[in-house]
A and B are shown apart, each in its own frame.
Chain A
Amino acid sequence: MIRTLPNTRTYKIGFTGFVIFYFIFLFIPLVIVCILAFNDSLFPSLPWYGFTLDWFFGKGPDKIGVFHHPMNLKAIYTSLKVALGVCIFSTIVGTCAAFLFDQEEFRFKKFFYILMITPMVVPGVILGISILSFANSLGIFLEKNMGIDLRILSPGLLLVVLGQSTFITTFVALVVIARLKKFDRGLEEAAYNLGANRLEVIWFITLRYLRPAIIGGAVVAFLLSFENFNTTLFLIGSKPTLPIALFAQIRDGGSPVVNAVSFLLIVGMSIFALANLYFSHKTEKQ
């Protein structure tokens, strides 16, 4: 079974074959999507009509590439804005949560900790509808009783940012807590003894130590937001984010432009993931 034990040849070949099959299963849809982004055809399918970059740079009339495709470009821009908002919100609040649960003692701490974990477990669809209902009811209440008409409470980018942040903050908090657990509190004691106050200690000692985890958490938040669909679906107004725009195109059968967008996303995400892995290895060694 394991390396140190003798195995029959058929067992070894069978097992390796299974694992190879697994990896093919894992990668085949991604590879196919990427290859067909370069096919000189009007449909995302075989047969192969030759290599082209038109689905990236084409100006039309029959082939409009990603970089000249207003709908997809707008959606990418919207997604970037949302992801940036989520990134800022969840990194700040998530870091606060990490400090709260690692360094402070208070009543019902365990209860609050479980409450903080749950947004990660609740289905995204339910997060979406709950925030939609709450914002809507709040808007109606404010208008009826105080005569204030708050447009930002109707579906739109603010609700999308808040909705995504609800569960992404938990992810950031967990990433930061993991590093905070390894922190030597003796360093803080030393700073206190040298006359620093709490704020100075947090700013000059603890946050410096946490920087890699906070950056890592921010990257994770950005990526999670950029590809979020389930929560966003219910909160989006007239400006779709990229996943919502792609979903509509894919439901209608897709086109090589979708493949081109996907190719860019796959390349971008892989670089992000590899960089993230590289830096987390580096900080672990420190």
Chain B
Amino acid sequence: MMNSKRTKIRWGFVLFFMPVFLWLFLLFVLPHLELLRLSFLGTDYYAKSGVTLENYAAFFKEPAYWLTFVRTAGYSIIITLIILMIALPVAFYITKVVGLKTKGLLMLLVIVPFWVSILIRVYGWMIILRESGIINNILVGMGLLKVPIEMLYNDVSLIIGLVHTNLLFMLVPIIGVMDSLDNSLIEAASNLGAKKLAIWWKIIIPHCMTGIMSGSIIVFMLVTGSYITPALMGGKNSLWFTQQIYNQFIIAFNWNQGAAFGFLLLLISSIIVWLSLKITGQKLGEVVK
């Protein structure tokens, strides 16, 4: 009896394991290994020149490439911080300030816009900000401006777009941990005379650290990897790194160079995530949970 049950369980294991294994192996592991292989091949696709580092060397030799890279990483950090500064007070308002009923409504209002495609939200910002857009129309109509000015296609509009499209992914994890913060801790600190800033710094932020870290990591990864927002709202002369990858793959048709760029993007995001975990002394296992 026992024996027959055991063999059946192994059979069930194979049934579950095979599709999952095929999925991860054929669609994820092998493609990435192939990408890694390509990144070490010469520029000519059919060339049998063997392993070369020229794709990676080209990245460091050509300022246009590495400047885009530095810009992408730098802006991603800035945008993650801006999102954090907005998300903390909003999360606090939703979890601690309003009553239970309003909380449910606000949660709904926070989540619903994020079901709408990024493309549409970016389009909305374009209609609002561009030279023939809503703001210019209103300002010129009121006589505050003589000629419309272009407010789209610069770094500020880029930041607005990326903040708007990624806010939720910071808000949800922070709301999750803030919910578990005991109100009496804040009351006690306040009764003992702590100022608001001190309460934030000494009680709320340390308590929310896991949520802040996982939110920051998700947002950072999403921002560095975003394509639509920089392509539609960013300046014409300043590319995002994902656009460099697109240009190499689709326009220049230099896949090996593009593959090298892809791996550099993976590398920088992993390093920054790892660094931020090190600095704040967190473990990846706790954060991903």
Q: Write the residues of chain B forming the contact surface with A, with a CB cutoff of 8 angstroms.
A: 5, 8-9, 11-13, 15-17, 19-20, 23-24, 27-32, 34-35, 38, 86, 89-90, 93, 96-97, 99, 108-113, 115-128, 132-134, 137-138, 141, 164, 167, 183, 186-187, 190, 196, 199, 221, 224-228, 231-232, 242, 245-246, 249-250, 255, 258-259, 262, 265-266, 269, 288
Contact = CB atoms under 8 A, between A and B. Distances in A.
Contact of B31 (A1, A19, A130, A233): A130
Given A15-B93, A93-B20, A227-B118, 5 more contacts: A29-B122, A33-B120, A45-B132, A99-B16, A123-B221
Nearest to A131: B31
A250 B34 contact: no
A232 to B, nearest CB: 11
A44 B109 CA distance: 26
A92 B19 CA distance: 9
Nearest to A250: B123
B12 A243 contact: no
A49 interface: no
Interface majority SS on B: helix, strand, loop or mixed?
A: helix
A15 B89 contact: yes
Contacts of A262: 120, 123
Interface stretch (A67-75, A110-118, A209-217): A110-118
Interface in A191-212: 192, 197-199, 202
Given A2-B183, A165-B27, A125 B245 contact: yes
B288 A117 contact: yes
Interface majority SS on A: helix, strand, loop or mixed?
A: helix
Contact of B115 (A3, A36, A169, A272): A272
Given A99-B16, A162-B27, A227-B117, A277 B108 contact: yes
Contact of B8 (A19, A106, A162, A197): A197
Interface of A: 1-5, 15-16, 18-19, 22-23, 25-30, 32-33, 36, 43-47, 92-93, 96-97, 99-100, 103-104, 106, 112, 115-119, 121-127, 129-134, 137, 162-163, 165-166, 169, 192, 197-199, 202, 223, 227, 229-230, 233-234, 243, 246-247, 250-251, 254, 258, 262, 265-266, 269-270, 272-274, 277
Nearest to B228: A229
A254 B23 contact: no
A217 B205 CA distance: 33
Contacts of A130: 31-32, 34-35, 262
Given A30-B116, A30-B121, A265-B117, A134 B30 contact: yes
